[in-house]
Structure 1
Amino acid sequence: MSQFVLCSEDNLASKYISDIQPFWHNNMQHGMFDGVREVGKKENVDIAYAYVLHPQALGSVVVSTGRIESLIKYKEVVYDLYQNGYSVFIHDHRGQGLSGRLLDNPNIGYVGSFEEYVADFKSFINQVVTEKTQHKPNLLCHSMGGTIGAMTVLRYPELFEKVVFSAPMFGIRPSLPNWFAKFLLNLHATLNKKNAYFFGQNNYDNQLFSGNELTHSEIRYQLFRQEYEETPKVQLGGVSGNWLKMAVQAMNEIEQGVHRFPIPALIIQAGADQVVDNKRQNRVVAKMKNAKLMVIAGSKHELFEEQDKFRTPCLTATLDFFRK
């Protein structure tokens, strides 16, 4: 049994209505700031964020979310962190969630460079987080948010106290041979489609629970999809060729530089992950100084959205790591 106060699937449907939604509407503060200007563009990108300040905060946590995710998907996570004594800060990466989109088709996952994600993240820390809390924040990352978080820590080692990575995107499945991956990316670019969907990618699809690769928890999956149906603006489809090219560059950069990772890190691996490449994740983690790997056997990719038997150990380890 967890030593922390965490939500449970048993009563989550009713608790979401009676406690979590009112908490979100009554306690969260929302805003926008100007993200970095993309090269060749005339306007900055609007970046959406939200935060809640705990009146007797033990510390603060900054959340870096995964691809296609929005801060509205993290209502339960933010609620749990707050109930355990933390002020929480979260933003939507450019091109997704409630932040500004970058292409005419808002469904296409696109970024000019992962450096833009990092620049936005640094602005969020400077303009919002450090203005609102006296605590040096901890960082909690999921999936693509782990790529962005790792790059940010490597560039700005003074920003965070500790970091927890949930199923970080240090590699992507299926893990193709390098030569074949390069061939496909070059072919796509040759066809002048870098801002179009990569091969096989499509617009947002409200996939049935039975076919999903993200979680075993039906209630958490349905709540996530319900949030996205009620706020269609946050819906996002597959990735563009340029996003994939930039992701490959970012993951290579992390693997090459992670030996100088400067702060304590806990990496929580989803044992049955079908989204990120656990073999490469293991390789990267083995090069990190002061890092601990925890494997949650049988869990799918979305550790924060999983069944209690997977999610509770994940959040318990996270909170325990932050408190030590």
Structure 2
Amino acid sequence: MILSDAPLFADLADGPEGARGYWLRTEDGVRVRVGHFPSATGRGTILLFPGRTEYIEKYGRNAKDFADHGYDVLAIDWRGQGLADRLTSNRNVGHVEHFIDYQMDVAAMVAAAQALNLPRPWYLLAHSMGGAIGLRAAMEGLPVEGCIFSAPMWGIQLPQALRPVAWTIGLCASQIGCGSAFAPSTKPESQLITEDFSENKLTRDRDMYDYMRSHVLAQPDLGLGGPSLRWLYQALSDSKALSRRPSPNMPCITWLGSDEAIVDADRIRDRMAHWPGGTLEQIPGGRHEMLMEHYDLRRAMVDRSLGYLQAQAAPANARSA
């Protein structure tokens, strides 16, 4: 794995000192970016899988929370977003040809973690779309000891009447060469730019909303608009395929807000009800971005997540001793 220096906007990230960015090339030649946030003690590493539209700097404060517990964080810009290669002539479209292509980004990220000799154990932290990518990766042997999911996109929240329409439009658009067009009702601009705090479905914390908004205002290249029709079809197809597969046999803690309005909460509850070694934490009043909520909740999520995973790992270590 060849690592070359990439920009990382540390002043915007507000994360641990010493953060560095790296460019990687995936198996199919796409350039993606990873960011390493170090800790002082190196007790382990969090592999952080962001959601759609997201980028490394958005998780700087979360990385600081984990660094305070002694964990490094390695985050990624998925293909088609952040500073990674965009996949259409219109860089504002959130697009992917096949959802499984994200697994090539995962493979490059794991190779980078190995090249950087990041401390073990490794754990997965995945939000929203990253939760779909991360679930498949965990099913297929991602070298982590456990998973933390935040509002994972194991289904998309759509009105029942619109589901067949979304499937049909997405499939037909791809077949006639219009798959890179914006999905209906979405916009070219970042939602953080077009929506006032009072309208947002992401967080109840004004400070964290302003934190996220400041990133795309200062560095517009980090921003992303709505998804393409092909992305929507691929996302629906992938979530359906994953719903038919059993959960991996590893510890898992998943966070879900009671006011979730973006991903399918029923899919999350159903999977976690049948996940061996898994638990679901439901937060009253929580919205989609619980990792972007107020400081006390963010810290409580980190404390509870690490405590749960470490407690689950202890019996396994005792058995192998």
Whether these two folds match at TM > 0.5 is yes
1:170 is the counterpart of 2:162? no
Supply the distance in 2 between the matched residues of 1:315 and 1:151 (Cα, whole angstroms): 23
- Deviation digits for residues 198-224 of structure 1, max 9, x if unmatched? 122211240211111100000110011
- Deviation digits for residues 237-258 of structure 1, max 9, x if unmatched? 000011111111211121111x
- Deviation digits for residues 40-65 of structure 1, max 9, x if unmatched? xxxx2111111133342221111000
Runs of 4+ in 1 over 6 A off after TM superposition: none
Q: TM-score, normalised by structure 1?
A: 0.86
1:91 is the counterpart of 2:79? no
SS of residue matched to 2:132: helix
Among residues 280, 300, 319, which one is paired with 2:287 in the alignment?
Answer: 300
Supply the distance in 2 between the matched residues of 1:55 and 1:306 (Cα, whole angstroms): 25
Pick closer, same or farther for the CA change 1:100–1:175 going to 2, 3 Å: same
- Deviation digits for residues 131-182 of structure 1, max 9, x if unmatched? 422413101011111000001011115x110000011001111243553432
Q: Which amino acid aligns with 2:288?
A: H
Supply the distance in 2 between the matched residues of 1:314 and 1:235 (Cα, whole angstroms): 27
* CA deviation after TM superposition for structure 1 residue 299, in Å: 0.5
SS of residue matched to 1:111: coil
SS of residue matched to 1:322: helix
Q: Which residue of 2 aligns with 1:282?
A: 269
| Equivalent runs, 1:123-162 vs 2, <5 Å | 123-129=108-114, 131-157=116-142, 159-162=143-146
Pick closer, same or farther for the CA change 1:130–1:297 going to 2, 3 Å: farther
Q: Which residue of 2 aligns with 1:31?
A: 22
* CA deviation after TM superposition for structure 1 residue 309, in Å: 5.5
Supply the distance in 2 between the matched residues of 1:218 and 1:54 (Cα, whole angstroms): 28
Gapped runs of 5+ residues in structure 1? 1-15, 38-43
Q: Which residue of 1 aligns with 2:215?
A: 227
Among residues 46, 61, 64, which one is paired with 2:49 in the alignment?
Answer: 64
Supply the distance in 2 between the matched residues of 1:172 and 1:110 (Cα, whole angstroms): 16
SS of residue matched to 1:239: coil
Q: Which residue of 2 aligns with 1:3?
A: none
Supply the distance in 2 between the matched residues of 1:110 and 1:127 (Cα, whole angstroms): 24
> Which deviates further from its counterpart, 62-71 or 197-206?
197-206
Q: Which residue of 1 aligns with 2:4?
A: none
Q: Which residue of 2 aligns with 1:40?
A: none
Supply the distance in 1 between the matched residues of 2:175 and 2:85 (Cα, whole angstroms): 28
Equivalent pairs counted in the alignment come to 298
SS of residue matched to 2:244: helix
Gapped runs of 5+ residues in structure 2? 1-9, 312-321
Q: Which residue of 1 aligns with 2:65?
A: 80
SS of residue matched to 2:282: strand
Supply the distance in 2 between the matched residues of 1:111 and 1:61 (Cα, whole angstroms): 25
Supply the distance in 1 between the matched residues of 2:27 and 2:93 (Cα, whole angstroms): 20
Q: Which amino acid aligns with 1:302?
A: E
Q: Percentage identity across aligned positions?
A: 24
Supply the distance in 1 between the matched residues of 2:27 and 2:160 (Cα, whole angstroms): 32
* CA deviation after TM superposition for structure 1 residue 274, in Å: 0.8
> Which deviates further from its counterpart, 126-135 or 110-119?
126-135
| Equivalent runs, 1:170-209 vs 2, <5 Å | 170-176=154-160, 178-189=163-174, 192-205=177-190, 206=193, 207-209=195-197
Supply the distance in 1 between the matched residues of 2:136 and 2:184 (Cα, whole angstroms): 27
Q: Which residue of 1 aligns with 2:90?
A: 105
Q: Which amino acid aligns with 1:251?
A: S
Pick closer, same or farther for the CA change 1:190–1:120 going to 2, 3 Å: closer
SS of residue matched to 2:160: coil
* CA deviation after TM superposition for structure 1 residue 116, in Å: 1.2
Q: Which amino acid aligns with 1:281?
A: I
Residues 60, 135 of structure 1: 8 Å contact kept: yes
1:254 is the counterpart of 2:242? yes
Q: Which residue of 2 aligns with 1:6?
A: none
Q: Which residue of 2 aligns with 1:115?
A: 100
1:237 is the counterpart of 2:222? no
Supply the distance in 1 between the matched residues of 2:100 and 2:172 (Cα, whole angstroms): 24
1:212 is the counterpart of 2:200? yes
Please tell me the root mean square deviation across aligned C-alpha atoms, in Å.
Answer: 2.1
Q: Which residue of 2 aligns with 1:270?
A: 257
